[in-house]
């Protein structure tokens, strides 16, 4: 059960040496033409498939398609779901055989396998081996899974006899009159609605592995007991398990927390508090590049940039509804001159206040405003996770105020802009979901139909495949959510487009129509990257720290063979800096070590300088992925770097 919003799928094949080289620096691609930005449509057309089943390399050293495997998911394979659910029961039975005092709670299947929570003494990795061995015995006995339907009173009687207080609490929360129990043979049973395999023998014990132990509060409430959660993974066969374990190793290698420390990109300091990110010089430089690109493309696409305060009077959040519906995620109020103020959890009300600052005519629309706005949200310490789940983060927030008949064109413009931005960062596979009206909603049926139809028409016009999440919209309007797929095939929720009928009403914003009557505009919320912190974490893992040249904090490192060439190296670096190239000079070690250090720091280019290069006023260039690229003039080196940086999609 992940503590951050990511649906995990697996595609280690996409990190083969051939694929990885695409992320590096290849002078052979320099001759391709530079793609120019254009709004609202773009010059390239890309079909964006909905990511379905990932491809996994069974043999990581091979690029042969015959070694690639499509891993099933719980959604694509009911048999796998049944296996995983049954494994949770088998694990609970094994735990209670080995540790009779353990109390059981809940044990569902999850994305990669299953888990079960127990109230018991802390476990160790050695305990996991004992539990797995006992699970293997139970599986080998081929015990049947038997479903029994009992009355509520009978269920209460049986649970009480076993002295299982958590199960009694679960029983009380079950609203259906029919209570179902699943037995493993005649030795163990659990409250459960199913489904399960017919017998434990249907599980391949060689395709099951216990992975880890974690603490988890009962019902996710920090005021309740801390439980022991055991995570496991289960697959249909050994080949699938092998592919999954390879994926895990690759994901571990790419972990943004480790890479962030190794490359000195960011840190989270205990002295300052959990979930608060410190951007170090190199990480801050990457953020600066991202922000500059984001601002420039928004200005080209007709947005006005805003900067708004980090705090506001608490009454603002009362009007917006956040104090009623979002209070548990907001920090405590602070008293300023006997008036309560609040750290902002959202940027939306601020943008509305800017809109309300003057009267608007129908001729003013559409009005597009955008801000890289930092917000603060309370998260439990146990849910914090590197850059993926933090307490303070910066959103690439934008809001569009428009007329009803402009919704479709504005949504299409946002989709075009989203595609442009995501392609720039190397993401070209998306899963798109359209969420429609829920049971409880604000706004008239007519405007809901118009807005939903406009979203559908924009997606259809874009030619994107999408799935309908019927009733999954927010209470204030329908929305489009876009998940990007990274190099491992994992999907990350980043982009969202939401139509809002609620806040315009709450803040009573209006415009004057052609009949000089006051009308209410439509408000569209949209974010492309989402949280900059989280997106940076995704980028680190997507590229395994090997950023493309345009994003790399240090693009080139100049290395002297001896200190006798140091003066020339500094002059080369100064010339590169004049052209905006991010470069540094390193010396004081033997050349092989200087090269190794540059490769460990994932520097895309090295310019080696010896006595011959000084005489001819040249550099010998080495690429991190391309190896030796030959000797060239400094001007030629500069021109090639600039061309590659301006055309990042060619890398």
Predicted confidence (pLDDT) per residue in 92-107, tens digit = 999 999 999 999 999 9
Amino acid 175: pLDDT: 80
Alpha helices in 254-377 (DSSP H): 256-262, 281-300, 314-320, 322-325, 348-356
Percent of the chain with pLDDT over 70: 89
pLDDT value at 404 more than 50: yes
Q: How far does CA 180 lie from the centroid of its chain?
A: 37
Phi, psi of 493 (to 5 degrees): -75, 115
Greater confidence (583 vs 223) lies with: 583
At residue 385 the predicted structure's pLDDT band, cuts being 50, 70 and 90, is: very high
Mean pLDDT, rounded, of the chain:
87
Amino acid 474: pLDDT: 83
Q: Mean pLDDT throughout 301-315?
A: 96
Amino acid 323: pLDDT: 83
pLDDT value at 22 more than 80: no
Lowest-confidence segment of 44-58, 66-80, 476-490 by average pLDDT: 44-58
Amino acid 181: pLDDT: 93
Amino acid 68: pLDDT: 58
pLDDT value at 26 more than 80: no
Q: Mean pLDDT throughout 353-362?
A: 96
For residues 95-121, b (16+ Cβ closer than 10 Å) or e, as one string? bbbebeebbbbbbebbebbbbbbbbbe
Cβ neighbours for 562, distance < 8 A, ≥ 6 positions apart: 610
At residue 36 the predicted structure's pLDDT band, cuts being 50, 70 and 90, is: very low
Amino acid 324: pLDDT: 80
**Tokens 């924009």 sit at which residue?**
458
Q: Mean pLDDT throughout 50-73?
A: 47
Amino acid 108: pLDDT: 93
Amino acid 71: pLDDT: 87
**Selection from 478, 483, 301, 496 nearest residue 395 by Cα:** 496
pLDDT value at 273 more than 70: yes
pLDDT value at 317 more than 60: yes
Amino acid 443: pLDDT: 80
* Both structure tokens of 427: 């993401």
At residue 648 the predicted structure's pLDDT band, cuts being 50, 70 and 90, is: low
Q: Mean pLDDT throughout 33-58?
A: 34
At residue 518 the predicted structure's pLDDT band, cuts being 50, 70 and 90, is: very high
Count of residues for the chain?
Answer: 651
* Both structure tokens of 620: 């010998």
Amino acid 176: pLDDT: 76
Give the active site residues. 348, 377, 395, 397, 399, 479, 525
Give the 3-state secondary structure of 506-527. Answer: HCCCCEECCCCCEECCEEEEEE
Q: State the burial class of residue 9 (Cβ atoms within 10 Å of its Cβ: 0-12, 13-18, 19+).
A: buried
Asked whether 6 and 492 are in contact (CB, 8 A), the reply is yes
Q: How far, in Å, CA of 342 to CA of 334, rounded?
A: 6
pLDDT value at 325 more than 90: no
Q: Mean pLDDT throughout 387-409?
A: 94
**Tokens 């391309």 sit at which residue?**
626
* Both structure tokens of 425: 């960062």
Angle at 317 between CA 315 and CA 319, to 5 degrees: 70
Q: Mean pLDDT throughout 432-453?
A: 88
Q: Quick: pLDDT tens for 138-173.
A: 999 999 999 999 999 999 999 999 999 999 999 988
* Both structure tokens of 179: 């209570």
Alpha carbon of 153 to those of 103, 163, 228: distances in Å? 21, 15, 29
Amino acid 11: pLDDT: 33
Amino acid 644: pLDDT: 87
Q: Mean pLDDT throughout 456-467?
A: 92
* Both structure tokens of 115: 């888990």
Q: How far, in Å, CA of 245 to CA of 233, rounded?
A: 10
**Tokens 């109230």 sit at which residue?**
119
User: How many CB atoms lie under 10 A from the CB of residue 572?
Assistant: 25
Lowest-confidence segment of 4-8, 271-275, 524-528 by average pLDDT: 4-8
Greater confidence (447 vs 497) lies with: 497
**Tokens 């099951």 sit at which residue?**
208
pLDDT value at 468 more than 60: yes
Percent of the chain with pLDDT over 90: 75
Greater confidence (29 vs 358) lies with: 358
Amino acid 60: pLDDT: 36
Strand intervals (E) in 192-243 = 208-217, 226-234
Amino acid 380: pLDDT: 83
* Both structure tokens of 625: 């992925």
Amino acid 446: pLDDT: 86
pLDDT value at 33 more than 90: no
* Both structure tokens of 62: 């091979």
pLDDT value at 582 more than 50: yes
Asked whether 272 and 309 are in contact (CB, 8 A), the reply is no
pLDDT value at 430 more than 50: yes
Proportion of the chain in helix, strand, coil states, percent, rounded to 5: 40, 25, 35
Alpha carbon of 402 to those of 52, 453, 520, 523: distances in Å? 35, 16, 9, 7
Q: How far, in Å, CA of 331 to CA of 532, rounded?
A: 21
């Amino acid at each position: 059960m992940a503590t951050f919003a990511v649906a995990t799928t697996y595609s280690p094949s996409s990190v083969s040496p051939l694929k990885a080289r695409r992320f590096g620096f290849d002078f052979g691609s320099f001759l391709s033409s530079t793609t120019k930005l254009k709004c609202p449509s773009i010059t390239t057309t890309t079909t964006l498939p909905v990511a379905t089943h990932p491809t996994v390399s069974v043999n990581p050293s091979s690029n042969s398609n015959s070694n690639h495997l499509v891993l099933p998911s719980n959604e694509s394979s009911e048999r796998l779901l049944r296996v995983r659910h049954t494994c949770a029961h088998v694990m609970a039975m094994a735990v209670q055989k080995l540790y009779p005092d353990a109390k059981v709670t809940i044990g569902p299947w999850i994305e990669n396998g299953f888990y079960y929570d127990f109230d018991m003494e802390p476990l160790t990795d050695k305990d996991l081996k004992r539990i797995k061995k006992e699970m293997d015995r139970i599986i080998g006995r081929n015990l049947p899974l038997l479903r029994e339907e009992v009355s509520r009173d009978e269920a209460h009687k049986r649970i009480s006899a076993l002295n299982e207080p958590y199960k009694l609490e679960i029983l009380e929360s079950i609203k259906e009159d029919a209570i179902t129990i699943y037995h493993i043979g005649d030795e163990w049973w659990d409250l459960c609605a199913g489904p399960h395999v017919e017998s434990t023998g249907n599980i391949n014990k060689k395709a099951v592995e216990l992975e880890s132990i974690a603490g988890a509060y009962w019902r996710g409430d920090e005021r309740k007991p801390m439980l022991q959660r055991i995570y496991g993974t289960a697959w249909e066969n050994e080949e699938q398990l092998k592919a999954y374990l390879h994926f895990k190793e690759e994901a571990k290698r790419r972990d943004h927390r480790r890479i962030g420390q190794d490359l000195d990109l960011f840190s989270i300091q205990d002295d300052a508090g959990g979930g608060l990110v410190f951007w170090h010089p190199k990480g801050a430089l990457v953020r600066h590049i991202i922000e500059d690109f984001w601002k420039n493309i928004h200005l080209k696409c007709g947005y006005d940039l805003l900067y708004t305060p980090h705090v506001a009077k608490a009454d603002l959040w009362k009007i917006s509804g956040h104090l009623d519906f979002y209070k548990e995620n907001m920090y405590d109020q602070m008293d300023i001159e006997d008036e309560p103020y609040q750290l902002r959890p959202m940027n939306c009300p601020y943008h509305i206040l800017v809109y309300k600052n003057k009267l608007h005519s129908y001729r003013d629309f559409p009005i597009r405003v955008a801000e890289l706005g930092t917000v603060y949200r309370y998260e439990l310490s146990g849910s914090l996770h590197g850059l993926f789940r933090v307490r303070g983060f910066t959103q690439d927030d934008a809001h569009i105020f428009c007329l009803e008949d402009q919704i479709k064109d504005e949504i299409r413009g946002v989709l075009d802009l989203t595609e442009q931005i995501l392609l720039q960062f190397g993401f070209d596979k998306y899963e798109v979901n359209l969420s429609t009206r829920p049971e409880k909603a604000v706004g008239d049926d007519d405007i809901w139909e118009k807005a939903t139809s406009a979203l559908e028409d924009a997606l259809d016009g874009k030619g994107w495949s999408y799935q309908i999440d019927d009733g999954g919209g927010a209470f204030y309007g329908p929305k489009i959510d876009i998940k990007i797929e990274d190099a491992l095939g994992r999907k990350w929720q980043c982009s969202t487009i939401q139509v809002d009928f609620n806040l315009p009403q709450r803040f009573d914003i209006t415009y004057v129509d052609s009949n000089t009557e006051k009308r209410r505009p439509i408000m569209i919320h949209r974010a492309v990257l989402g949280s900059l912190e989280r997106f940076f974490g995704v980028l680190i893992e997507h590229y395994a720290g090997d950023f493309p040249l345009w994003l790399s904090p240090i693009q080139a490192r100049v290395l002297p063979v001896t200190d006798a060439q140091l003066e020339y190296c500094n002059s080369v670096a100064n010339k590169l800096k004049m052209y905006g190239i991010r470069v540094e000079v390193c010396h004081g070690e033997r050349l092989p070590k200087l090269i190794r250090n540059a490769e460990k720091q994932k520097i895309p280019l090295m310019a080696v300088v010896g006595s011959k290069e000084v005489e001819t006023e040249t550099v010998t260039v080495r690429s991190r992925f391309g190896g030796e690229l030959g000797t060239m003039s400094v001007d030629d080196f500069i021109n090639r770097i600039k061309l590659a940086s301006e055309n990042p999609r060619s890398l």
